[in-house]
Amino acid sequence: MNHDDTGRTAGRSGWGWFLAWLLVGACAGIGLAAILTVGAVFVALAAAAAVFLLRKGPRNAVVGAVSGVALPVFYLAYLNRGGPGDVCHAVSGGQTCTEEYTPVPFLVVGALLLVVGVVIHLMAGRGGGDDHVPGK
């Protein structure tokens, strides 16, 4: 087993780095989806976190960002869960209707992104991958 300077095994710590990158990808995805409102803040946070992770962590964990983009896509599927078509809800004094898309394409894209990131991470871990931590 490969041990880093802290005594942790590379395989176990790799999932922590993967999850950190997953959060970066989710933050970037939310930022791009909401770019006209608060999105710039999320994109800036994702960029800062990415710079930190690139300096401190193993490079092969960056595929977690691919899986992270799946989280906002799953949220879009959830928001459109009543679609396709007009979905009406009762409110005080009447009802309100919104047009929703079918959630299936969002679910498919989200699942593909999630699976692709996890599979690439697993394959990189088995093949030895680029587990180099800069500065070590």
Residue bearing tokens 């300096």: 55
pLDDT-based confidence at 136, cuts 50/70/90? Answer: very low
**pLDDT tens readout for residues 86-128:** 888 888 888 888 888 888 999 999 999 999 988 888 887 765 5
Residue bearing tokens 């599979």: 119
Residues 6+ apart with CB under 8 A from 90: none
State pTM to two decimals: 0.72
Distance, in Å, from the CA atom of 104 to the CA atom of 97, rounded to the nearest integer, reads 21
Distance, in Å, from the CA atom of 134 to the CA atom of 77, rounded to the nearest integer, reads 38
